[in-house]
Structure 1
């Protein structure tokens, strides 16, 4: 059996390698959202109508909020005739362990008693708590106000005026000073947990809920270290590292909240949960006055002090923070910001992992579309209820937050619901309605539903073209995403044409080095590689990498993503030594910026191993893949697709070193997991099955190998067609096997069959 027969593996020339999504994926700032209300909480009975009664006392009327741990309902305490809010946590019993549920109930009672004992004007009052049909619930005062997340979203993410900011900050600090004096630490302070009342008062809610959530199981394992995921944008470094947490952790979270109120975004708004956590741990926040010069210097100093990495370097108690805020409020003077010639998008760029989108739509007068009569601006229509629109904005923001933590199914559901509601309230062609549909399409892309995403993006792009104009950035954004969906569907020539058109428009409208222009050019480079135009892909990727290095910095994650693409295009061109050098440089930079176990860092290690294998450095590649499999298993689990991809490459290198028994065991394990997770006819499963046959052949077990080769060939023919190159490769495998078994006539007939299909098959790009 020829050694070249062993070359079918994941990586360049095969299936997309680990981490390719980061290098080639879309990155337009699309978010994702919250699932819509779907009736009463599980176990409560009824549908949220007057028939829903908890413990014969609390009648649920209206779902007013939903989060990761449960739902909040507007309700009536029928015993006292008092309107209340009822927070219903997710149903218990998921573990099937009665002992666990008893411990959880006791923990809930303890935390609820602590919350109920807090009596301060800045703390939400807890009236009652209990369990009903497997649902834990808290009964709280019903507040007339908006949480700070909604306040910011109502203002379209514009920062709060300094007097409002300092007033809110002082009230929160006073409330924290009280709770800390009682020995109570919040642990999950964030804008959504701080309510600003209609009369200007401020209240903190959800004391004890963060710790209870950990017990219920609402955590995300981001690494093999068991980091518990709270709310990443507001977590202190000590929470991230699972070290001791005390009142100074709340003060760090308060610093994050104040930073967001002062600038309109959190201090480390870096796109994905891992990058955010690394930012809290390692990055120095940009001073708020760099974006907002009118902020008082003392206020900026306090915010940065609160954001100190070491708890010892922060203010040591909330009372001191409140005192500093009182002094700032007494002496603050608002300055007029100095003008600057630097464009707004350039001012917003940072050295953090992801450049934020900073496009702000200018105010416009309302106007009707000349054909449909639908509103064609972002302005509220005369007939729309402002309160309803504010609620939609809040739900949109929650949808975005769900997307940031990867809850794409919930995100899609809520974005779709918001779009439908906006359609009724503002019009089918209103830009806000189209924005919600754009976000829903992004969720479809992340869910692998590229065909549906393409249809929705194409619709949004066409309507935006009519309403906003063909060169409007939002129109171009939808066209860009449609091109990406075309590529995901394998329609690379169409994707190339669309990427090229969008790139030309963005270069004309935004300039050649605007982040959106470079993002489009990056994706164009990737798509050129998919078309087999390796030299053009390489040249384009180098141009983007150089530009991003100038604009964003050489170690910005988008720069490193394009340099990763440069390495990949070098590999496609067979320039493996040069590709290896690029991958090693990118890997070292990503380890410094993101950490050694970040998925992007591990993706580079995978590609480095591919290069080593191609260069004949098989022993080095084997060592790399053994370490990589261990790291991926810790980080993502043994069944994760990237872990399995690395194990596949490990098996290939075991075979190349002649360790065929170990290679066979590895191939069988990977094939079994892929068959269970992906299905027996999935392309990745068939790659692993083919690897089993390769190993059997090298071990001289030709009859067993023939059975597997035939199974793979038949499945590929059924799945891909008789003319597909992968099908023909498998038929050739089958023919070679027949030769080894002495069945030459059958082998020659199969070779002739393959030859006919290759001659008669359709042309391919």
Structure 2
């Protein structure tokens, strides 16, 4: 490839940065987007292969590259593009500013890394593997050289799909006739050596080898002879790490030795199981859910969600909760923190150009490297707070770093803008939407000046601005921004790029908020089909869009179609994510809503009974989603005329919601109203009136006298007065409600 400096008229090769058994890696410039990327050029396939074989090989390459490009997780290197040029297969990936673990060990003179660093790397790699394994993807060549730690501490796995491609191109991980294995024998699982069945547990064995080396300074079978290494993997128990490094925690040693079990059945069940075992010995660390990127605390999987949910605004449909380019769409759980801002990758080039460009306006001298390192550390600290859901602390840290980076580097430096982006995200999670919008707008404007209007980082910030506009109810403005961002993404990235599809997904939801229900449904349906084609029908992103197709069908009163869609999504999520995952349970809950709307209350009741049991087991009895399922159960008991049972269920749910969410929380008030409904149906109208008035007063206090929910409660109160024969009071109350509605309509409020 040395003589080929331009690939496909787009990627200008600038500098060879790596060479391996399968080819070369170049730092390159994407001339279309004006950004630096890494281009991996696989070895020429040569004339020795049959043309029919080469056609099959190219198709396999496209398949594997497409799978790699579909992966959307902060712990996995992004694949931007792939193709063939002059007989050479190439992958275009994000250019990482960091060192792989092999280089870190060399930098450390092959001394072991500090224990907190090893545990941090274990947690991040485990989270990425949990995500990919849930997609049915196995790495097959996990080793220190394929794991990169960025300057901000983020860890990324590289080269997904490359090991399978190596096999297709002619490399093999099986023993040759001379007894030597191709590949990297120090990290190979026994089943790879023996040509056995390779699944996700092979990656766990390789991870055990990597962690053993990081913790002790050498891999478990550190011999020069390749055959001896392979025999060690196959037949020899590894020396316990604490014999080499006594200060290692005993629980950590135990989990590493479990990873290195010869029999795959003796290893952790999956990467999520591995994470739980690691963090059981380090309870101060968060657990990152491998499927969605959500962070969990060790022990009960509900602790963090319970804490963050209490401070969230009223629950919105799924599109509203996932309209963010900073996180992957992941069903109905809480938003995950955004991945590290890609603009961070430009820091090195920006700093190196300081002297040649005369510095940055407002600064006289470049800041000392130690100062920049300190600010990078504080930025990472803010990201760690975000991972824990500690949004207030994350926001304060990022606010301070923004101010100091702006003074030291200038307002449009990528590092300054990266911290401003994180500040805006934290403000959004705290419900401080006006402030969040201002910070996202400033980030977008700065990136447009520094990087260009169509740069992916600029578009990411603009898309977040649109999301916050939607939070503020300014849906027409949000629509305009989404439409502009979508046009730019389609022009620069193509219609099937995952970020393009995510923007279309968000735009579809915003259309529904504008009352354009048919347009919203059509666009959501198109996005679901595109994601199924690009990512696969069972990919979590495909399923989250299909989930929203069901929501759109419900808005259009097409309940039978919505029911079928939700059931299909629930079945697919059960296969891919597991039957007790929150996203699976959410789809089942929506199917229950559809059954109720269709008058099939007996079926809905049975569904909700099972859902309450499963949510209690998976999320806990006081979790908001468990209580929501119990509320649905009570409603359907009432629909079946079982009012004594319905009233008891409503009272119990109301009491728990009051304790967990607060007396004036919208969900609590919904349950309190359901108590009044049950009292009314049982003929206890005086008691019902008292409860209806409590709900009406609370909604007026929290939402305002003319809010639709407050007006509906006043109507409930009037109806109750009628049932008690107090018609004059009822008429007066109806008149007041009508006057407030007229005033609201005159004002143009929605």
TM over 0.5: yes
Alignment RMSD = 4.5
Q: Secondary structure at the match of 2:189?
A: helix
| Residue 669 of structure 1, aligned match among 652, 662, 670 | 652
Match for residue 752 of structure 1?
735
Partner of 2:509: 526
Match of residue 696 from structure 1: 679
Distance of 2:357 and 2:203 partners within structure 1: 59
What SS class does the counterpart of residue 202 from structure 1 fall into? coil
Of 418-427 and 526-535, deviating more is 418-427
Structure 2 equivalent of residue 206 of structure 1: 115
Aligned pair in 2 of structure 1 residues 230, 671: CA closer, same or farther (>3 Å)? farther
Q: Give the corresponding residue for 2:232.
A: none
CA distance in 2: counterparts of 1:392 and 1:478, whole angstroms: 22
The answer for the alignment partner of 1:448 in structure 2 is 431
User: How far off is 1:718 after superposition?
Assistant: 2.8
Q: Secondary structure at the match of 1:203?
A: coil
Distance 2:606 2:720 in 1: 31
| Corresponding residue for residue 621 of structure 1 | 604
Q: Tell me what 2:177 maps to.
A: none
What TM-score results when the alignment is normalised by the length of structure 1? 0.59
Query: Once the 2 structures are TM-superposed, how far is the Cα of residue 558 of structure 1 from its aligned partner?
Result: 0.9
User: What's the counterpart of residue 100 of structure 2?
Assistant: 160
Aligned-pair distance for 1:670? 2.0
Q: Secondary structure at the match of 1:761?
A: helix
Deviation at 1:397, TM superposition (A): 4.1
* Secondary structure, counterpart of 2:147 in structure 1: helix
> Match for residue 125 of structure 2?
233
Q: Rate the CA distance shift 1:715–1:406 in 2: closer, same or farther, 3 A.
A: closer
| C-alpha separation in 1, matches of 2:619 and 2:472 | 26
User: How do residues 217-296 of structure 1 correspond to structure 2 at under 5 angstroms?
Assistant: 231=123, 233-234=125-126, 259-261=146-148, 286-287=161-162
Q: Give the Cα–Cα distance (whole angstroms) in 2 for the partners of residues 557 and 28 of structure 1.
A: 10
**2:569·2:587 contact (CA, 8 Å) conserved in 1?**
yes
Residue in 2 aligned with 1:541?
524
Q: Which residue of 1 aligns with 2:189?
A: 305
Where does residue 25 of structure 2 map in the other structure?
none
CA contact (8 A) 2:140 2:164 kept: no
Tell me if structure 2 keeps the 8 A contact 1:681–1:715. yes
Question: Which deviates more from structure 2 when the two are superposed, residues 412-421 or residues 300-309?
Answer: 300-309
User: CA–CA distance in 1 between the matches of 2:491 and 2:427?
Assistant: 30
Alignment of 1:465-480 (within 5 A): 465-480=448-463
Please name the residue that 1:280 is paired with.
none
- Measured in 1, the distance between the counterparts of 2:143 and 2:624 equals 35
Name the SS for the 1:555 alignment partner.
coil
Please state whether the residue corresponding to 1:231 is helix, strand or coil.
Answer: helix
C-alpha distance in 1, partners of 2:710/2:127?
51
Mark the CA change 1:566 to 1:622 in structure 2 (over 3 Å): closer, same or farther.
same
Q: What residue in structure 1 maps to residue 369 of structure 2?
A: 386
* Alignment match, 2:715: 732
Alignment partner of 2:361 out of 332, 352, 373: 373
Instruction: Give secondary structure in 1 for the equivalent of 2:729.
Output: helix
The partner residue of 1:570 within 529, 553, 560 is: 553
- Residue of structure 2 equivalent to 1:656: 639
* 1:419 and 2:328 aligned: no
Contact map agreement 2:149 2:156 (CA 8 A) in 1: no
Contact 1:609 1:621 in 2 (8 A): yes
Partner of residue 462, structure 1 = 445
Q: Deviations over 1:230-257 (max 9, x none)?
A: 825338999xxxxxxxxxxxxx999575
C-alpha contact (below 8 Å) 2:508/2:519 kept by paired residues: yes
Alignment of 1:590-629 (within 5 A): 590-629=573-612
Change (3 A) 1:209 1:322: closer
- In the TM superposition, residue 596 of structure 1 has moved relative to its aligned partner by 1.1
Secondary structure at the residue paired with 2:115? coil
Which of 561, 571, 577 lines up with 2:544 in the alignment? 561
**2: CA distance, partners of 1:312 / 1:469:** 40
Aligned residues: 518
- Give CA-to-partner distance per residue, 1:700-738, whole Å, 9 cap, x none: 100011111122122222333333222221121111111
Q: Is the 8 A contact 1:528 1:536 kept in 2?
A: yes
Distance 1:498 1:291 in 2: 44
Distance in 1 (CA, whole Å) between partners of 2:358 and 2:458 is 19
Q: How far did residue 258 of structure 1 move?
A: 5.2
Shift of 1:624: 1.4
* 1:323 Cα deviation from its structure 2 partner: 4.6
Query: CA–CA distance in 2 between the matches of 1:409 and 1:290?
Result: 45
Shift of 1:669: 2.0
Q: 2:595·2:601 contact (CA, 8 Å) conserved in 1?
A: yes
- Say if 2:498 is the partner of 1:515: yes
Q: State the match for 1:715 in structure 2.
A: 698
Distance 1:313 1:476 in 2: 37
Equivalent in the alignment of 1:396 = 379
In structure 1, what is the Cα distance between the partners aligned to 2:559 and 2:728? 40
CA displacement at 1:591 relative to structure 2: 1.0
- The worse-fitting range, judged by mean Cα deviation, of 651-660 and 676-685 is 676-685
Match of 1:408 among 388, 391, 395: 391
Quote the Cα distance in structure 2 between the aligned partners of 1:540 and 1:756: 39
**8 Å Cα contact 1:461-1:476 kept in structure 2:** yes
**Maintained 8 Å contact 2:638/2:678:** yes
The Cα of 1:159 is off from its aligned counterpart by 5.8
Task: Tell me the equivalent position of 1:102.
Answer: none
Q: Distance in 2 between matches of 1:584 and 1:666?
A: 26
Contact 1:549–1:555 (Cα < 8 Å) also in 2: yes
Q: Does the C-alpha gap of structure 1 residues 254 and 666 become closer, same or farther in structure 2, counting only changes over 3 Å?
A: farther
Tell me which residue corresponds to 1:584: 567
Unpaired runs of 5+ in structure 1?
1-26, 32-154, 169-195, 214-228, 239-251, 270-283, 332-350, 376-380
* Cα distance in structure 1, aligned partners of 2:143 and 2:530: 32
Could you say which residue in structure 2 is the equivalent of 1:126? none
Q: Kindly tell me: are residues 595 and 433 of structure 1, through their superposed partners in 2, closer, same or farther at Cα, counting changes over 3 Å?
A: same
What TM-score do you get using the length of structure 2 for normalisation?
0.60
Contact persistence 2:100–2:145 (CA under 8 A): no
Q: 1:439 aligns with which of 410, 413, 422?
A: 422
- Summarize deviations over 1:527-578 as a string: whole Å, max 9, x none: 2222322111101101111111222221111111111110100011100110
Relative to structure 1, is the Cα distance of residues 708 and 611 closer, same or farther in structure 2, using a 3 angstrom cutoff? same
- Compare relative contact order (CA 8 Å, sep 6+) and give the higher one, 1 or 2: 1
CA distance in 2, matches of 1:605, 1:748: 42
Question: Relative to structure 1, is the Cα distance of residues 313 and 483 closer, same or farther in structure 2, using a 3 angstrom cutoff?
Answer: closer
Partner of 2:268: none
Match of 1:495 among 478, 500, 503: 478
For residue 112 of structure 2, give the secondary structure of its aligned residue in structure 1. Answer: strand
Q: Matched residues in 1 for 2:411 and 2:170: separation?
A: 40
In 1, Cα distance between the equivalents of 2:716 and 2:676? 9
Structure 1 residue 460 displacement after superposition: 1.4
